[in-house]
Amino acid sequence: MKGQRDLANRARSLFQKVLEGAPEGTGAGAVDHAEQEILTELIATAARADFDQRLDRALDMADDEQAAVEIAARAMHQVLPDHATEILLVGAKGVNLLQMAEAGPEDEGPGCPVIAAGDCPAMARAETMRFDNSNELDACPYLRDRIRGTCSAACVPMELLGRHSAIIHTVGDLDSAVDDTTLGYIQSIAQRTENKITLIRALQQATLVPTYDELTGLFDAAGTDAKMVEMTKSLIPFSIALCELDDFMSYQENYGTSIGDRAIRQFASSLRDVVRPTDIAGRYTGSEFLVVFPHTTTSEAASALERVRESIALSLAVAETPMFTASFGVAESVTADTLDDLLISASIALAIARENGKNRVVISGDEPLEIL
């Protein structure tokens, strides 16, 4: 605050000197060349400080990521009204870039053709890149053959929770290439938006406290969902398995609720015996369970689930619990755009497992696996 007051006082002093200056710049009140340069710098610094403060106030009112990136897009339009700008974030799969906000003379972004985040030169190098002419030898190859023709551009990546997973991309005509001062504004927008989204994600993770199922001791549905959301936000690839005890309603009607509870506990015990410490197992509904396998393909997850089936059969051989089986549907996070889509894929695979004889593992998109 003291620095801003000193800046304001210096600016007022020089402005006063200008107002009191003699005609044709002569006399005791005239501003010399050096002071004029200082005055110009002070005005620019004051304008930048005012812009940053306004942006901070706007971002403080953003309740979620989408609101934050839309504010950033509006800020970019104020700085570069003649440029087409878009803000891209890495999607839930942790691979592809998705356009989250855009701005421009026609309210449209430049439509960067990059699909995978790793293919973007600025994100791959984790550094700001500026191109005055898209036809230059060292210009970004994705700037060539744009509909708008030869252009200038700037790309400023953003780091979210330790990974460069967002970027501001702006494109303009050759005669409106981004200069150093404007680039400073863009970097400020990127930094402030990065800080806001990081804070939003951190708060989301802090509030997603896992909860547990009393009967099995596994996570309950909310706890399992919290873990999946956490991995999605951290861009961790994973596979999931929806598991269900076969014909459980009939099983419970035949043997009673207490025996049904025993079967559920025994199934949960078989899951715990097989899954790794890094895996997440939870009871999703009455007889339905969800297992999350971080950094695991569907084939690897299916192999683990076959061992769960074996564990169930072995435990029943020495237990007093009546015979039961389970079916499993497996899906992988990289094949779905949202968690809802991922769960739907696993649900379809589970339905196929039940339709094809139960007591088996089916991978989403594959043929049912044979019973061992």
pLDDT (tens digit, 9 = 90+) per residue, 345-361? 999 999 999 999 999 99
Q: Which of 135, 352, 214 has the alpha carbon at shortest distance from 153?
A: 135
CA angle 61, 64, 70 (to 5 degrees): 75
DSSP state of 175: G
Give the pLDDT confidence score for residue 372 in this predicted structure: 36
> Predicted confidence band at 38 (pLDDT cuts at 50, 70, 90)?
confident
pTM attached to this predicted model: 0.56
- Please list, in sequence order, all residues whose beta carbon lies within 8 angstroms of the beta carbon of residue 349, skipping any fewer than 6 positions away: 242, 328, 329, 330, 331, 362, 363, 364, 365
209-363 is classed CATH 3.40.630.30: no
Choice between 348 and 205, residue whose per-residue pLDDT is larger: 348
- Look at residue 69 in the predicted model and tell me its pLDDT: 94
Domain 62-207, CATH: 3.30.450.40
Backbone angles phi, psi at 104, to 5 degrees: 170, 180
Among 363, 340, 239, which Cα is nearest to 294's?
239
Per-residue pLDDT at 324: 96
Collect all residues with Cβ–Cβ distance below 8 Å to 144 and sequence separation of at least 6.
134, 135
- Which amino acid, residue 269? S
Does residue 61 carry a pLDDT above 70?
yes
- 104 DSSP assignment: S
**Tokens of residue 174, six digits:** 């050759």
> What letter would DSSP give residue 369?
P
pLDDT of the residue at 31: 53
Residue 212, classed as helix, strand or coil, is strand
pLDDT confidence band for 20 (50 / 70 / 90)? low
| Distance from C-alpha of 70 to C-alpha of 300, rounded to nearest angstrom | 40
Q: Which residues, listed in sequence order, are joined to residue 242 by a DSSP beta bridge?
A: 290, 329
Q: Two tokens at 228? A: 């999946």
- Strand spans (E) along 91-196: 97-103, 129-131, 152-160, 163-172
3-state SS class at 147:
coil
pLDDT at 203: 77
| Residue recorded with tokens 């970004």 | 140
Q: 103 has which bridge partners?
A: 85
Average pLDDT, the chain: 86
Q: What is the pLDDT of residue 8?
A: 54
| pLDDT for position 162 | 73
d(CA 372, CA 363): 16
Distance CA 223, CA 218 (A): 9
- The residue ranking higher by pLDDT, 135 or 95, is 135
Return the bridge partners of 243, or none.
289, 328
The token pair at 280 is 């997440």
